[in-house]
Structure 1
Amino acid sequence: MRLLADLRLSRAPAAAFAGVGLFWGSFAAMLPDLKARLAVDDATLGLVLLASSSGALLSMWLAPRVDAALPRLGLTVAGLAMAAAVLPFGLAASLLPFVLGMLAIGMTTGMYDILANARVSRLEARHALSLMNLNHGLYSLSYAGAAFATGLAREAGLGPWPWFAVVGAGILITAGLTRAGDAPDGTEAPTQESRGRITPYVWCAGLVTLIGFFAENATEGWSALHIERTLGGGAAEGALGPAMLGLTMALGRLAGHLVTFRGTEPTVLRWAALLAASGLMAAAAAPTPAVAYLGFACLGLGVSVVGPMALALAGQTARPEARTLAVSRAAMIGYLGFFVGPPAMGFLSDAFGLRAAFGIGAAMILMIPLILLPRMRRLAPA
């Protein structure tokens, strides 16, 4: 079976993606409790979450160097570092320790994620396979399961400290599973000529990824608050919002893995972006949690393939010696959206309300089919 064979081939980066999803799913569903414990408003919470963005961007810039220096062990070392950052995270009961914890988690998560993407890109090139959607689908499955389990834990009265200790132990297990590795061959090593250069096509692919990850992570981080605060749902109902998003994203990515063939990515991206924008608008205008779940489901199905396909396109159009660099730089641009999304939603929510903030996110998604994809078509190598 193709799915199982591809999963065995990419089992090391798949474990890393599962570890990243384990933390962020738990974090999204635990966010109402964390916010209440810190006693901060939306804008302050958004500012605090920028700490993870800063740490992640620094580690992402350094990731290609780490990958070159530790081609077999870099992914495992990054996973161990992430587990070490997550294990004590639940102890942060005041603002300064929480900010420092988010900084450490941002740095380690960013490194773990980028090295996993680089590993997938190498495997795609070596075996002429499409693996990005599958591996990002593992992230979504892990995210959905973690969000749902966290909701149950909250309902049972379990607080942040014991729960994040369990999450850290889970990430430690994923780090051990990444030891099945591969090293770059001679054609994949960055040359002095290609080091540091970003083509206009990679910039556009990065911007598509940025918008997709912005919509994905902003909604993941604030959907529980939207359902609980705006629509009056309980803790379990709130946790079902990010769980629904994660589950439909997993389904979308696994389906995308099975149906995607070389050359079809732009068409799939166009329709996926339209579906995602429609879903986010429905969630923004939802009168009840049930309608919000439907909107988040449509958003998840649509946005699920945006980031992985854009990263795959960046790797496909790069020369072999520049492939890891192209993917890492497109991912770094894209993950600005992943990490800036939640704090930006905090600022927008504080200024205009959560409904308007989700509506602005939907308008951003429409930039993909209207502006960026036509530009990429003109820039694509002949």
Structure 2
Amino acid sequence: MTLWTVIAVVSLLCWLWLLLAQGFFWRTDVRLPPAAEPDTWPTVAVVVPARDEAHVLPVSLPSLLAQQYPGRAEVFLVDDGSSDGTGALARALADEHGGLPLTVTSPGEPPAGWTGKLWAVRHGMATASAAYRAEYLLLTDADIAHEPSSLRELVAGAVGSDLDVVSQMARLRVATAWERLIVPAFVYFFAQLYPFRWVNRSGRTAAAAGGCVLVRRAAAERAGIPEAIRQAVIDDVALARAVKRSGGRLWLGLADRVDSVRPYPRLSQLWRMVSRSAYAQLRHNPLLLAGTLAGLLLVYLVPPVAAVGGAAAGNAAVYAAGLGAWVLMTASYLPMLRYYRQPLWLAPLLPLTALLYAAMTADSAVQHYRGRGAAWKGRTYPRPDPAAVPDQRG
């Protein structure tokens, strides 16, 4: 048995294990949990951190203001030092569209030890508490549009299943060729790393999707949110982990009525979206980086290379193992492409996408060591103090 045969067979075995033992991550049927409409609907404060978001607010903010929620709900938009008139535009949109009450506030620059988003979330939560003590907080990004029933369904799911966190992975925009190639894979890889079924049961795996997180206020206070995660770059996973560690119950799934309206038409924009936090996900550990890159090559690049190379060399064993792994990989990606309503012929191209993600991950480490890691909208964050941020691993 040649070395190439061994490598191809190991890759095939990896795919068999991923399909059967990694929480069925490839399935896209994890939607909202069982719901129950309460006699008295709990109060909700919707907190929206926003920094230079004037280009997306005309689509996203009116959708929040138009929520058809039976109980009391208010929107608190935190203008995080914007230079494009985000706060003024938000007020104008509220005057134009009406709907839920809107408060626009600004926290000033974050102090040392805080990321800008979490400082804004803290300020939004404090402002909401001063107005009224909401039972639930909806933490949602400024680029997320909600259909009118979204808030009602989130709360009904939290109440009906007695959950402390209900988070939906917003459907990201897919319009350009680069978005088609990279965006569905982003959600696919996230689900592979944090299988939703594992998140949604008791156990160690914890994750949330930061664009749409409904959290019970009591659970947030018990977990020390947001102070306990104030340095976290991957704040959604850190939040979920802190809540679960404190005894909270989580739910994470895909969305049908929550969409991101932020465009990423160019490869450079998608590259930055991934690379700004990839090395943080690996805890800035060079050994984890090396292992991750080797794993990506073994799992995603070996199958097509073995299939094509084995066929060209007349090596039936290498060809069969490589082709088998490639077929399993392709089949596992089809449900995500269907969810995103994309052509299924993109599925065999997943190795190319994985190669791009490997390059983005390596670049994330390079930028970190150059002092430009975790940079976003004019701010660059240093490596978090491990004592100040909960372990973000699943």
The structure with the largest strand share of the pair is 2
TM-score with structure 2 length normalisation? 0.25
Greater Cα radius of gyration, structure 1 or 2: 2
Greater relative contact order (Cα < 8 A, sep 6+): 1
Whose helix proportion is higher, 1 or 2?
A: 1
TM-score normalised by length of structure 1: 0.25
